[in-house]
Chains A and B, each alone.
Chain A
Amino acid sequence: MSERFSVGDRVRVRRAYPPGHVRAPYFTRGKVGEVQAIAGSYRNPEQLAYGITDAERLPLYRVIFRQSDLWSDYEGGPKDTTVVDFYENWLDPA
């Protein structure tokens, strides 16, 4: 499986709000982070959730965000981060 992004790439989580089973947390949508690791490739859970057992395989990325980028009112330290896993369909180049 060829991955669209590499470790160190800046990525933006798509700002999309479809109904149904969604694997991108609400608080990350539209936010920019950096690919920290590629965690393998797995069948798309957004399809598996509807009983599609031969769902396509997608790369899974571990993306690191600065807390201050996620929360406009963040009061913790400037070095604080959060790591969230995303399937490739949720990421655009930033």
Chain B
Amino acid sequence: MTMATAFLGGLSRLEPQPNGHHPAWLTEARRAAFEWVAEHGFPTLKDEDWRYTRLGPILDIPFEPAAAGMGHRLSSSTIDALAADLGGTRLVFVNGHFAPELSWLAELPEGATVTNLASVLAEEAERLEPLLSRPIGSHHHAFTALNAALAEDGAFVHLRAGTTVDEPIQLVFFSETAGSPLVSSPRSVVLAGPGSRVAIVETHVGVPGDIYCTNAVTEVVLEEGAAVEHYKVQDESETAFHLALLDVRQGRDSRFSSHSVALGSRVARHEVRVGLEAEGAQVSLDGLYMPRGDQHHDNPILIEHAAPHCTSHQLYKGVLDGHGHGVFNGRVVVRPGAAGTDAAQTNKNLLLSDHAEVDTRPRLEILADDVKCTHGAAVGRLDEDAVFYLRSRGVPHLAARGLLIYAFVNEMVERLRLEPLRSRVEKLVAHRLATGDEVQT
């Protein structure tokens, strides 16, 4: 260990406590994951995937694991106000623990199971053993290992072959602290059987001003012909930290799409890893990040084309204001034999202030023949000719800027297929633009 930080110093506080509901294999897996963290330590700027994200601000804070049982002050209508009401099933988690009184389960088709991970662990833990007892080598960094060590709860979605869930399944992760900094470690699992279809919406919110750390892992497994849409709205407190991994494995002819919108957090890192493991799988990843003030939004992406004739498309857009810092670190690896690969990466950024910063690194590693791969990145400022054009027509200066920024963002918003969610995001983004800091003239 190289860092004597508050976080590491506090590791003993974070050490997983025996949980009577856990089977022996899980207790062992948690202990091993925890030891992995103690042994390997946290990533530094020297780690390729972490070179743009300073962990200092996180590791300096003595976080404690969040216990269950908070959120008494919350009501269902508070959750409605914090997250769009999408109809359908809604699971609410407070500090990573399921809050049944705030959740509701809509009627689901017979082949669908939607519940919380802790209930599955209590009742039929063996269903999860293949996922949760994966060997230590698969913890690719300390935060995923820490999640493995500490996760108690999260969402569990299982669709049997051919099951279609029409209404989106909404997962709301709400954080609050009772004063001292808390780390929550939700672990969610989505298992989409052959030919099944579902849309999952993750919303991460917290009490403004509270200092907490969300360290979330969501795992999605798509079997042959499954179709999963994933949406994520990261609207955490701007004093909070958000570290997340979306880990996706795709079977033959499956289709996965993800749309992420990053607005909140002081430091946020939303990592997506997709394995295209069988022929004909398709993935589309969208991301919008809007850091301002001192916010930092990092988007590491790894897509592995491990089979022929798979398609991957990425479109990420950043709007950076104040001293905001954004990162697009997208890597596509085309493994030998993955012929007929179609991969495209696009990253566009709009800098609104002289102090805002973006690092963009679209990367292709092509180890196969007969592939079609494109990538592109752009960083620009507002078109001042367009601002003048709008003003000359009577649109006030700030409104003209807002209109142009919104036009840049709107492409991403329009790609959100779920209507109530699209309106919700539209409002959040418009509000963000109306309150943007450091407007330059």
Query: Do these two chains interact?
Result: no
